[in-house]
């Protein structure tokens, strides 16, 4: 199972954080800080895996990848394969790259909702359900379309008609 | 009217999430100010009757909660409102907020059941997907129970987009509501034969989780998994199936034989490192009895180790440490790589390498490996350095010092650890010094020497982490003073002015040890007086005691020193120190006059000799190791109510309880072990072990030079006092210099020398159930009902199948019957498949038929007999 997906920038600011087990927000923030403090102390060109039992409980592993100003982080347990998780980060990044054509940190900052759509298609309740970026993009585009469609109706909000009707 | 007009104003001028994010980047107020402003806004907007306004506010709130740690539990009801909107965008925001913030304690959880059900039944697959996601994240027992029918329906969905998520959600539903297994299990199992890779991947993932929680209940499905293992070419699927087999093989060894061949096949065939690694891990962890498979796996590990990619190197080392306990040869084969990895820049790699080095330790190479490690410890950063020390300590002390033959060497090593600049493992070293003292009688002379060297090392007193070691050293020098070469100097070291740097509890140990030394000296002095007076003839034979040269002058001197040094302490603020000091001073008060007046001490009837003899008796009882289960063995007296009203005890005095406990283990828990007095010094032993005392005395000389004014003129001239360096030695230099010595090949454990007796308690040293294991048992119990549910579901499924089989295919042979019932799942396609199978069998005759036999034999074992009926 995947326990958490995080994207942090190199200053330690979280850009996306999803925890698949419920925990209070203070705990989430503590974990984000904890993960960052471990990541930022790691030299370049070392392995991408960390044992992180101290933060996430027994049998917790973390894999991260550093792209430009961002860390992509997955926290998972013994029923995932480390290298497969590394591949999954690759899938995620490729998907984002296709979504935003050459993704950068700002895309991630300003497209909070879309980011969640992407991650939710790949990881479902802690399980990896999709590893093909084409499938993910297809679903995400469909979701965007639906949102836009529901939005266009909202140009005349109910409250306006209610107000007019008075 | 007012409410609707404010809501349209809100709607028109409301800041969207994007505005909020932009605002964040431009804000000058400071982050927390900005957040509280935004929160104010959100609290106002979220009360709006307009769902657009409300949902935007909720969206902003969930953003702030996820990335800025703002509490959003107060908005739970608003999330329920938003999710009920008919618009997809609102719904999505609502579900996102719910998955993010709801938990079992959320009171409005009850309100979402109907909405989720409605969305699960929606014609829009994306709405279904939102509801499924929500259920998989926050599903409670009630939700799972109420929505099981919908989940069951969705499992049969024709759209793979929905179906894969329905499969995913089953995990949460099973976990929360065990009876759902009866409903959904069959459909879940059917998907193991799906040709759609998405579906297969999802279902295998679910079974991987189920097998992790409870392998036993998944065992009957082994044939289905086997088929996936052989047929699938999807790496994600294969990795999960391997994980399943790793679990199953651990409870059903015969399965291991059967899966070894296909796993090796994958290992040879694939280029995907992730799959290779999973194969390797499966083999080394669960199929470690299969020589051929292990050989292949170790060869693959070797490939990983020589790669430049640090990830592969790390994982290779990781796999080696799994294989190490059973196949040490695999580790030894790669020894060079491992030693090289100790200086890798990657902390993970270093740690794994360290772990492996310690796996290799045995009684022949322990000193060599320790030498290598101590050199690394000197060079490493504090964190890794302590990791090394910890590993050495735990490897050497494993199973009551099993691998240590030469305790003199090991005790010396412990002393050296204290001199490693970053050493922070004081408590562990303290424990071992005392433990060895109690367990290994033959190591005591060396312990005393090493302790003395530690006591007089001026660099150690200032290091907070080393105080426990000093405490142990002080205790050892007092307890085993009979091995001390020069008790006077021990007393001087114990009472040196710089002991003021120590915490009072340890200072008290120092003073008490000085007391023991004093009693010992007096005792020896009196007994030597006796011998000289009573039988002059025997004087030559009792050479050991005469060596002490306890003259009247020297004893008087000693008493004076102690009195002078402890005088000020009798008024100190710390009660423990004061108490100890007063004890000693009181004792001195009793004896001093007689000694000072040089009364006729020939008669052992003097007051002082009686008091001394009494104190000697007090100190003579030996300390032994305490069994970890000692407390359990003591029976509870009648009428004593334990565990009642003591619950508050920890709360009330938790602060005081801890230190008392830890100390009582090492010092006060006496076990009446053997009461023989170890009075007579074993001179030969003392003189046989060589170099350390020289060094130590030179250190003392240094100390003397520096703190000369605190010393009295010594009894003997120090032979080395002029030859050593004139500068005050720094801790680092000391460490570098001395650490070379114990690893000197000459001092390598001499195999001809027999290993000294190590006192071992029958059961106390055995590893008992750790709290972790207990916890596992607990969780296992929790999972029991789930596993029972799965097993009964399987029972139903197989019974049904059997019936089908008899109806559809009454003539097949017994063996085939068995196998087909195991291997085949869909009875309708049974005949077709059987033909295919026969064809295959024809192609590769021997091997396949052998496999079939194995299937049959394995199935007998795997199956609960009921299935065959």
> Cβ contacts (< 8 Å) between B92 and chain A: which residues?
113, 143, 147
Classified as helix, coil or strand, A70 is strand
Q: Check: CB of residue B484 under 8 Å from CB of residue B490.
A: yes
pLDDT on residue B46: 92
ipTM: 0.91
Residues of A in contact with B355 (CB under 8 A): none
The residue of A90, A110, A159 whose CB has the most chain B CBs within 10 angstroms, and thus the best one to mutate to test that interface, is A159
Q: Which residues of B touch A12 (CB under 8 A)?
A: none
Query: 3-state class of B652 per DSSP?
Result: helix
Please answer yes or no on whether A43 and B243 come within 8 Å at the CB atom.
no
What gap in Å lies between CA B433 and CA B430, rounded to an integer?
5
Q: Do B201 and A131 touch (CB under 8 A)?
A: yes
Q: What is the pLDDT of residue B866?
A: 34
Report the distance separating Cα B475 and Cα B452, nearest Å.
11
Nearest to B165 among A16, A45, A129 (CB): A129
**Searching chain A, which residue's CA lies closest to the CA of residue B6?**
A159
What pLDDT is attached to residue B247?
93
> B489-507: per-residue pLDDT in tens?
888 888 888 888 888 899 8
Say if B382 is an interface residue toward chain A (CB within 8 Å). no
The pLDDT score that the predictor gives to residue B783 is 61
**Distance (Å, rounded) from C-alpha B92 to C-alpha B737?**
69
Interface membership of B72 toward A (CB under 8 Å): yes
B297 at A interface, C-beta within 8 A: no
| B708-742 burial code (b ≥16 CB/10 A, e <16) | eebbeebeeebeeeeebeeeebebeebbeebbeeb
C-alpha to C-alpha distance for B418 and B738, rounded to whole angstroms = 11
pLDDT over 70 for what percent of chain B?
A: 71
* CB of B166 less than 8 A from some CB of A: no
Question: Taking the mean position of all CA atoms in its chain, how far away is CA B722?
Answer: 49
Give chain B's residues under pLDDT 70.
Answer: 1-12, 530-549, 598-606, 641-753, 761-784, 796-869
Q: Is the pLDDT score of A146 beyond 50?
A: yes
State which H helix or E strand residue A19 sits in: strand A14-19
Give tens-digit pLDDT for B621-644. Answer: 777 777 777 777 777 777 776 666
pLDDT digits (tens, 9 = 90+) for B399-453: 888 888 889 999 999 998 888 888 888 899 999 999 898 888 888 999 999 998 9
pLDDT digits (tens, 9 = 90+) for B694-738: 555 566 566 556 655 554 444 444 444 344 344 433 444 434 433
Distance (Å) from the alpha carbon of A6 to chain B's nearest alpha carbon: 10
Mean pLDDT of the A28-38 span: 94
- pTM (2 decimals)? 0.70
Name the closest residue on chain A to residue B22, using Cα atoms: A110
Average pLDDT on A67-82 reads 93
pLDDT value, residue B633: 74
- The answer to whether the CB atoms of B168 and A124 lie below 8 A apart is yes
- Following DSSP, what letter does each residue of B57-109 receive, concatenated? HHHHHHHHHHHH----GGGHHHHHHHHT-SSHHHHHHHHHHHHHH--TT-GGG
Kindly list the distances between the CA atom of residue B8 and the CA atoms of A165, B3, B522, in Å, as whole numbers in the listed order: 14, 9, 98
Half-sphere exposure in the Cβ direction for A132 (13 Å, CA)? 9
Q: Is B825 on the interface with A (CB under 8 A)?
A: no
Do the Cβ atoms of A128 and B201 come within 8 Å? yes
Task: Encode B610-624 in three state secondary structure.
Answer: HHHHHHHHHHHCCCC
| Angle, CA of B175, B178 and B181, to the nearest 5° | 100
B1 with A166: Cβ contact below 8 A: yes
Question: Nearest by CB to B346, which of A46, A84, A157?
Answer: A46
Contact A28 B103 (CB under 8 A): no
The two structure tokens encoding residue B632: 């359990």
Span between the terminal Cα atoms of chain A, in Å: 54
Do the Cβ atoms of B171 and A16 come within 8 Å? Answer: no
Report pLDDT for B776: 53
């Amino acid at each position: 199972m995947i326990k958490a997906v995080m994207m942090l920038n190199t200053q330690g600011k979280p850009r996306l954080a999803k925890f698949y087990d419920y925990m209070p927000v203070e705990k989430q923030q503590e974990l984000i800080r904890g993960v960052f403090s471990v990541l930022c102390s790691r030299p370049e060109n070392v392995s991408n895996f960390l044992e992180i039992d101290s933060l996430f409980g027994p049998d917790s592993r973390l894999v991260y990848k550093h792209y430009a100003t961002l860390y992509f982080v997955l926290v998972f347990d013994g029923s995932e394969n480390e290298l497969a998780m590394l591949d999954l980060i690759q899938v995620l990044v490729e998907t984002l790259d296709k979504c935003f054509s050459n993704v950068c940190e700002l895309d991630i900052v300003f497209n909070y909702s879309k980011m969640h759509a992407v991650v939710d298609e790949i990881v479902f309740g802690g399980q990896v359900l999709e590893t093909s970026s084409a499938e993910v993009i297809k679903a995400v585009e469909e979701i965007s379309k639906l949102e836009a469609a529901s939005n266009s109706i909202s140009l005349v909000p109910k409250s306006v008609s209610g107000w007019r009707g008075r | 009217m007012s409410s609707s007009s404010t809501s349209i104003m809100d709607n028109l001028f409301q800041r969207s999430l994007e505005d909020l994010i932009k605002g964040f980047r431009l804000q000058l107020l400071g982050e927390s100010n900005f957040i509280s402003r935004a929160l104010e806004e959100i609290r106002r907007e979220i009360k709006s009757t307009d769902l657009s306004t409300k949902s935007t506010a909720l969206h902003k709130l969930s953003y702030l909660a996820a990335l800025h740690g703002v509490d959003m539990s107060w908005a739970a009801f608003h999330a329920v409102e938003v999710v009920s909107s008919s618009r997809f965008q609102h719904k999505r925001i609502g579900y996102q907020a719910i998955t993010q913030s709801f938990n079992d304690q959320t009171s409005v959880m009850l309100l979402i059941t109907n909405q989720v059900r409605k969305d699960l039944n929606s014609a829009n697959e994306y709405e279904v997907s939102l509801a499924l996601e929500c259920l998989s994240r926050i599903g409670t027992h009630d939700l799972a129970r109420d929505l099981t029918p919908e989940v069951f329906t969705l499992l049969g969905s024709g759209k793979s987009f929905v179906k894969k998520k329905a499969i995913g959600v089953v995990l949460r539903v099973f976990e929360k509501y065990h009876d759902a297994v009866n409903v959904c299990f069959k459909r879940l199992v059917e998907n193991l034969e799906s040709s759609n890779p998405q579906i297969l991947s999802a279902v295998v993932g679910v079974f991987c989780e189920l097998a992790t929680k409870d392998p036993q209940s998944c065992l009957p499905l082994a044939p289905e998994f086997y088929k996936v293992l052989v047929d699938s070419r999807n790496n994600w699927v294969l990795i999960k199936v391997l994980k399943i087999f790793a679990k199953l093989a651990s409870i059903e060894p015969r399965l291991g034989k059967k899966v070894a061949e296909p796993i090796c096949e994958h290992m040879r065939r694939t280029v995907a490192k992730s799959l290779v690694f999973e194969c390797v891990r499966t083999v080394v962890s669960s199929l470690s009895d299969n020589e051929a498979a292990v050989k292949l796996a170790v060869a693959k590990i070797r490939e990983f180790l020589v790669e430049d990619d640090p990830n592969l190197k790390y994982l290779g080392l990781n796999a080696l440490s799994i294989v190490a306990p059973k196949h040490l040869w695999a580790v030894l084969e790669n020894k060079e790589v491992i030693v090289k990895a100790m200086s890798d820049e990657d902390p993970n790699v270093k740690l794994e390498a360290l772990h492996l080095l310690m796996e290799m330790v045995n009684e022949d190479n322990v000193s060599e490996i320790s030498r290598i490690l101590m050199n690394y410890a000197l060079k490493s950063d504090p964190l890794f350095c302590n990791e090394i020390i910890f590993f050495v300590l735990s490897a050497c002390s494993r199973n009551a010092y099993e691998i240590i033959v030469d305790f003199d060497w090991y005790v010396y090593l412990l002393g050296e650890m204290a001199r490693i600049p970053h050493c922070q493992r004081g408590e562990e070293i303290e424990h071992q010094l005392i433990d060895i003292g109690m367990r290994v009688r033959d190591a005591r002379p060396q312990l005393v020497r090493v302790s003395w060297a530690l006591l007089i090392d001026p660099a150690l007193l200032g290091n907070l982490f080393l105080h426990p070691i000093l405490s142990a050293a002080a205790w050892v020098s007092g307890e085993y003073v009979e091995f001390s070469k020069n008790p006077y100097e021990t007393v001087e070291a114990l009472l040196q002015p710089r002991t003021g740097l120590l915490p009072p509890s340890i200072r008290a140990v120092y003073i008490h040890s000085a007391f023991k030394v004093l009693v010992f000296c007096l005792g020896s002095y009196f007994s030597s007086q006796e011998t000289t007076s009573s039988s002059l003839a025997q004087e030559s034979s009792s050479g050991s005691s005469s060596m002490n040269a306890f003259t009247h002058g020297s004893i008087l001197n000693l008493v004076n020193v102690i009195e002078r040094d402890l005088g000020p302490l009798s008024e100190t603020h710390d009660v423990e120190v004061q108490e100890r000091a007063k004890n000693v001073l009181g004792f001195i008060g009793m004896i001093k006059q007689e000694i000072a007046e040089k009364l006729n001490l020939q008669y052992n009837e003097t007051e002082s000799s009686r008091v001394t003899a009494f104190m000697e008796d007090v100190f003579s009882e030996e300390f032994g190791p305490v069994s970890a289960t000692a407390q359990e063995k003591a029976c509870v007296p009648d009428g004593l109510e334990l565990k009642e009203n003591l619950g508050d005890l920890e709360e009330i005095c938790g602060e005081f309880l801890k230190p008392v406990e830890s100390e009582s283990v090492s010092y006060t828990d006496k076990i009446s072990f053997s009461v023989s007095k170890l009075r007579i010094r074993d001179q030969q032993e003392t003189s046989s072990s060589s170099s350390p005392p020289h060094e130590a005395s030179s250190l003392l000389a240094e100390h003397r030079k520096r703190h000369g004014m605190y010393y009295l003129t010594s009894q003997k001239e120090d032979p080395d006092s002029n030859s050593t360096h004139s500068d005050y030695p720094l801790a680092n230099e000391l460490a570098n210099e001395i650490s070379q010595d114990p690893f000197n090949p000459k001092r390598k454990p001499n195999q001809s020398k027999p290993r000294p007796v190590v006192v071992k308690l029958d059961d106390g040293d055995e590893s008992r159930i750790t709290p972790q294991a207990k916890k596992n048992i607990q969780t296992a119990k929790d999972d029991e009902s789930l596993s029972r549910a799965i097993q009964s579901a399987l029972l139903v499924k197989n019974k049904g199948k059997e019936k089908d089989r008899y109806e559809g295919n009454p003539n097949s042979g017994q063996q085939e019957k068995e196998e087909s019932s195991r291997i085949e799942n869909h009875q309708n396609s049974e005949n077709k498949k059987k033909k295919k199978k026969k064809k295959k069998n024809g192609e590769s005759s021997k091997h396949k038929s052998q496999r079939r036999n194995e299937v049959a034999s394995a199935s007998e074992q795997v199956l609960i007999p009921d299935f065959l009926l």
